[in-house]
Amino acid sequence: MNRTATSPAIAADWMAAGVRHEILMRVLPTLRHDLLGPISVARMELAVMRRRLERADLVPQDGLRRVQQLDAHLVDLTRGLRELRRWDPLDTELMPAGSIVRLALALMEQPLRLAGLEVGMEAGCEAGQGPELPLAPLLLGTLALLCHAQDGLSPGQRLRLHLAAGPEGEAPVLTVRTERQSETGPAPAATLMPGLPDLPVPVRARLDAEAVRHLAASLGLHAVLDDEPWRLRVGDLVPAAPGLP
């Protein structure tokens, strides 16, 4: 039987694609919720309008207000659908670096809470701050760091994120430090509802340091995870593996 050897470049492509897929699977519940929310509310609005039309007690002003609400829900849904383009490796959308980091945190907030982890943002992570960068690489790189924390840290720890703009002409650097949560902080999610039977743990691939570094290289980023703080630097600092089309 003939066997075709897989080139290192093709193997690298598929390894990076596998890491991206794992990240997408972890944030998919949040993406799905954001899309289904406007649909659910719009369906309830339509049900109310239908009942009132059947009773012929819907005054024009009230009907107009409800139509405007439906239109707002459609706008939210349309925006959510358009934002799915961000998961296309060829997407060229630009966004301030601070806004990209905040977007990643919003997508991973619930999984991190369920893992008993808190996230705190320091200077530089405010929305709108930092240079405008291609959204996809920094978003995926930040999500990879957060997934790595989800897999490797024990409950009761806090992540501290700091986005520092480098000197003029140098790329910004995202750093992640860990610290213990305060004793007076909220209880880890696992202890909020004691007495419940053990639920099956979703099967997922672990994102270890090597997986994060490989994805970062494919995106033109440089990830340093050997010691704290973890660092993710934007810029083609290492040879980038070719991405899948």
Structure tokens at 107: 């997508």
User: Per the domain annotation, does 188 fall within a domain?
Assistant: no
- Which tens digits make up the pLDDT trace of 155-186? 888 888 888 876 665 678 888 888 887 655 55
Share of the chain above pLDDT 90, in %: 22
Do 140 and 126 share a domain, yes or no?
yes
Do 167 and 209 share a domain, yes or no?
yes
With H, G, I as helix, E, B as strand and everything else as coil, classify residue 211. Answer: helix
User: Per the domain annotation, does 245 fall within a domain?
Assistant: no
Domain boundary among 60, 86, 112: 86
Distance CA 165, CA 204 (A): 34
User: Per the domain annotation, does 196 fall within a domain?
Assistant: no
Alpha carbon separation from 197 to 114, 155, 159, 190, 200 (Å, rounded): 16, 19, 29, 12, 10
Residue 122 φ/ψ, nearest 5 degrees: -100, -165
Domain boundary among 86, 104, 119: 86
User: Per the domain annotation, does 242 fall within a domain?
Assistant: no
For residue 26, what pLDDT is reported? 93
Q: What is the CATH number of the domain that holds 153?
A: 3.30.565.10
With H, G, I as helix, E, B as strand and everything else as coil, classify residue 134. Answer: strand
Structure tokens at 132: 């405008």
**Count of domains observed in the chain:** 2
DSSP class of residue 218 equals H
Do 178 and 117 share a domain, yes or no?
yes
- Which tens digits make up the pLDDT trace of 53-75? 888 888 888 888 888 988 998 89
User: Per the domain annotation, does 1 fall within a domain?
Assistant: no
Q: Which residue has the higher pLDDT, 116 or 238?
A: 116
Do 43 and 145 share a domain, yes or no?
no
- Which tens digits make up the pLDDT trace of 74-124? 898 898 888 888 888 788 889 988 899 999 999 999 999 988 998 888 766
Do 95 and 148 share a domain, yes or no?
yes
Do 215 and 132 share a domain, yes or no?
yes
For the whole model, what pTM was predicted? 0.78
User: Per the domain annotation, does 200 fall within a domain?
Assistant: no
Distance CA 6, CA 21 (A): 21
For residue 45, give its domain range. Answer: 10-86
Q: Which residues contact 25 (CB under 8 A, 6 or more apart)?
A: 204
User: Per the domain annotation, does 65 fall within a domain?
Assistant: yes
Alpha carbon separation from 65 to 20, 69, 70, 71, 157 (Å, rounded): 42, 6, 9, 10, 47
Do 15 and 122 share a domain, yes or no?
no
User: Per the domain annotation, does 190 fall within a domain?
Assistant: no
